[in-house]
Structure formats: C-alpha cells, structure tokens
C-alpha cells in the first residue's frame, strides 16, 4: 500500500510468527513514499522464546496441588530463586500452641511455614481460641470475681440485720463454701493429700481466712458495707509492711511509704468527719475492727507467698477452706448466740448467696485469672471490689454516699495503687 507507513506493529500483524522466522534483528523497513531503506530494527526476544542453541524451551514446572493432610508441598519463599520442600514436621522442635504463619503458595498450602501438614494446621486453628476471645473471658472472670466479693459485704450486712450473730453467720458461710469447693476439687481431681499442703492450709485457713473474716464481719455492725469493702483494699499496703520485716527480698521503699501515708490519710478523713455510711454507726469502732482484720489478713498474705513457692494455689485451696470452716465452727460453738432453727428463709437464701456467689465462685475465678494473665492485671480485681460495694450498698441497703466518703475512697485507692505498682508479686485474694 503506497504512501502508508507500515511500522513494526503492522509487521507483527502480517507476520504472527515473526519471532520464530527471524532473528533478533531485522534490516527491512518501509519509508513513507514506499521505497525500501536500510535500517536496523532490533526485535527483542521474549523471555518465553526458545534459545538459538536448544531451539526448544524447557517447560516450566507447574505448582503441585496440595490437599489437606498432604505430607509435602513446594512453597516459594519471598525470594523467587529460593525454593524449599517441606518434608514433614521437625521432630526436634516442640509443637507450639499458636502455629506460626506460613508462606502460602499458589495451591493454598501453608503447611511449610507452620511446621505441620495443612490438614493438621486447619484442625489446630479451629481448636485454638483466638486472642480476643481469651481476653474477653479474662475480663468476664475478673468482673464476676469483683462482683461476688463486692456484694459479699452487702449480703453479710443483710444477714446481720435479720438477727443472725456474726459467729454463726461465718460458720455457716464457710461450712457451705468448704462443701462446694471440696466437691469441685474432687470433680477436677485437684484435692491433694500432701501432708505439707495440709499443714500450710492449717496456718493460712486460720490466719488468712477465718480470723480476718470474723473481724470484718464485726466491723459491719458499725460501718456500711461500702466502707467495709473500701477498708479491705488496705490489705496490700499492710502486706508490704509485714513483708519488710518478714521477707528479705521485699524492702519497704520510699514510694511504698508515700502510698501508705496517702491511703491512711483517707482513713483519717473518715474518722475525723465521723462518717460511717449508716444511721447510728460508729466509724471509730468499725475502723478498729477492720484494722485488726487487715493486720491478720496481710500477715496471712505473707504466709501465703511463702507457701506458694512450694505448693500451688489450687493445692492450698482445699485445706484452707476446710480448716477455715472448722475454726469458724469452733468459734461459733463458743461465742454464737443464734440457734439454727431460728434462722429464717430469707437469711438462708442470703447465706447460700454468700457461700456460692460471694465466696466460692470468686475464688475459682480468681485462680483461673491468675493462671491466664499477669499479676498486675489480676490485681485490678481488688480495685473493683470497693466500687461494687459502695454502689450495691447504696442501692440495696440505702447506705449513704457523701463527699467525705468520696474523698476517702480516692485517697485510699491512690495510696493502694502507689504501693501495688512497686510490688511485682502475685496479688493476695481479697
């Protein structure tokens, strides 16, 4: 066609097999007036064209199809020149709970990066809970434990208002709790027969359980349940004081001293204003009974830290509750004034609530939280307990929430946080 320029694109259209018929360079071209000129047009050979030496291209290997349960697959790493073949799991490497992410090839195989076949990896992924699900369970357990311990003081004051004396109340509460916890441990096959664990439970059950509970219950006759729960948060500070004298590796630092001063200034606000949270209460007597309970519970906390280096918390739980129930029964036999037959149905319902929701379930939830997360995160339960006590006491028992109580609560919680942030040990059960 004269007068029409036919460039290399038209040559390629007219000669679809120009790559195989000509070499890499051609000297033929057409000018605008139809005459032939001599010019070198280099046609670059594609990467898929055959080499002149062989004349035939080596076929590219197709990716192997990997099905679930296959024992080997080829996976290309991020560098295309590197190829490795999976030959099964490495017996020298222990299996991990969360499989490592592998490099997915074109067939969808991810077994080489995970260290196990694709079918087994899919099964393990289905069986392993995700991290957000575990965190959600931890927070639910922490909130339930804080709710149980926080409402325990409110239920205790309710039983006292129904005419049951403190010693009978404590004995029934811990007797029911011991039956429930021992039954749970037998079901889980966690009740130990170790003599050393039972001797340790004897000391902890008296010093850390039945004794402090008696003093805290006596204090609820003179102050509100919210104030009682607020004063219980001083146990970590008193534990730090005991640890300074009884443990060589936990000295009382200047930061702990500052937290102690701030927290006890909140207690001073309660005593100075005469605020007890209830009508006709006596904050001085209530704080005195709570102080004895705090001193005994903190001493029991130091003993617990000593014994937990040799025994687990679950091993000490059964002996602790059994000994605590036995000691409470002895005290109730001597000092108790309420006959069992005179206890009404409402009081029995509250006692059942104390044994289950207020004692056993928070204790089990706390044990599970300590095993699943850090001690710092588990210690948040102790900060939530007084808030639950103050709110539920005001709602169900019409306890007062005044400005003095608010100022005291802020000072006590700030002091506890200052002491607790310097303490890296496991938190004490409230």
Question: CA-to-CA distance for 359 and 353, rounded, in angstroms?
Answer: 9
Q: pLDDT tens digit string along 137-182?
A: 889 999 999 999 999 999 999 999 999 999 999 999 999 999 999 9
Go through 131-158 and write b for each residue having 16 or more CB atoms within 10 A of its CB, e for each that does not: eeeeeeebeebbebbbbbbbbbbbbbbb
Domain parsing of the chain, residue ranges: 147-420
Mean pLDDT lowest for which of 245-259, 313-327, 398-412, 413-427? Answer: 413-427
- The answer to whether the pTM exceeds 0.75 is no
Largest CA distance in the chain: 129
**The residue to which tokens 């439970």 are assigned:** 201
267-313 pLDDT tens trace: 999 989 988 999 888 999 999 999 999 999 999 888 888 887 888 87
* Count of other CB atoms within 10 angstroms of residue 345: 7
Q: Which helix (H) or strand (E) holds 118?
A: helix 118-127
What are the tens digits of pLDDT across the range 380-422?
Answer: 888 899 999 999 999 999 999 999 999 999 999 999 888 877 6
Please name which of 47, 82, 340, 323 lies closest in space to residue 208, comparing C-alpha atoms.
Answer: 323
Per-residue pLDDT averaged across 237-264, rounded? 86
Q: Residues 388, 150: contact at Cβ < 8 Å?
A: yes
For residue 20, give Cα distances in angstroms to 3, 6, 11, 51, 59: 29, 20, 14, 10, 17
Whether 183 and 322 have beta carbons less than 8 Å apart is answered as no
Comparing CA positions, the residue from 157, 207, 183 lying closest to residue 324 is 207
Dihedrals phi, psi of 136, to nearest 5 degrees: -65, -40
8 Å CB contact between 397 and 224:
yes
């Amino acid at each position: 066609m004269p007068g029409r320029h036919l460039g290399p694109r038209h040559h390629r259209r007219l000669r679809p097999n120009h790559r195989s018929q000509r070499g890499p360079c051609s000297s033929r071209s057409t000018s605008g007036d139809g005459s032939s000129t001599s010019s070198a047009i280099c046609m670059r050979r594609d990467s898929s064209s055959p080499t002149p030496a062989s004349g035939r291209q080596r076929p590219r290997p197709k990716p192997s199809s990997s099905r679930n349960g296959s024992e080997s697959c080829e996976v290309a790493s991020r560098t295309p020149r590197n190829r490795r073949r999976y030959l099964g799991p490495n017996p020298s490497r222990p299996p991990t709970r969360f499989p490592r992410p592998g490099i997915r090839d074109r067939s969808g195989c991810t077994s080489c990066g995970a260290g196990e076949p694709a079918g087994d990896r899919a099964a393990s992924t289905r069986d392993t809970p995700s991290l957000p699900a575990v965190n959600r369970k931890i927070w639910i357990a922490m909130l339930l434990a804080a709710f149980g311990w926080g409402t325990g003081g409110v239920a205790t004051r309710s039983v006292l208002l129904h005419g049951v004396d403190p010693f009978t109340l404590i004995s029934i509460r811990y007797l029911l709790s011991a039956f429930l916890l021992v039954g749970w441990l037998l079901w889980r096959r966690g009740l130990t027969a170790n003599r050393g664990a039972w001797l340790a439970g004897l000391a902890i059950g008296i010093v850390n359980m039945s004794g402090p509970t008696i003093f805290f219950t006596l204090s609820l006759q003179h102050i509100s349940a919210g104030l009682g729960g607020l004063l219980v948060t001083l146990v970590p500070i008193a534990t730090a004081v005991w640890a300074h004298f009884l443990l060589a590796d936990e000295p009382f630092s200047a930061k702990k001293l500052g937290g102690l001063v701030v927290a006890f200034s909140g207690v001073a606000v309660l005593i100075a204003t005469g605020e007890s949270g209830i009508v006709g209460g006596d904050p001085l007597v209530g704080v005195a009974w709570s102080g004895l309970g705090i001193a005994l519970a903190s001493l029991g906390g130091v003993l617990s830290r000593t014994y937990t280096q040799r025994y687990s918390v679950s091993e000490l739980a059964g002996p602790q509750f059994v000994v605590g129930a036995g000691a409470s029964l002895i005290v109730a036999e001597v000092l108790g004034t309420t006959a069992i037959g005179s206890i009404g149905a409402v009081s029995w319902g509250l006692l059942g609530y104390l044994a289950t929701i207020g004692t056993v379930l928070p204790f089990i939830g706390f044990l599970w939280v300590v095993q699943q997360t850090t001690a710092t995160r588990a210690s948040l339960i102790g900060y939530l307990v007084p808030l639950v006590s103050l709110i539920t006491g005001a709602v169900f028992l019409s306890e007062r929430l005044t400005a003095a109580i608010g100022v005291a609560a802020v000072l006590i919680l700030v002091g506890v946080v200052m002491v607790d942030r310097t303490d890296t040990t496991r938190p004490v059960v409230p």
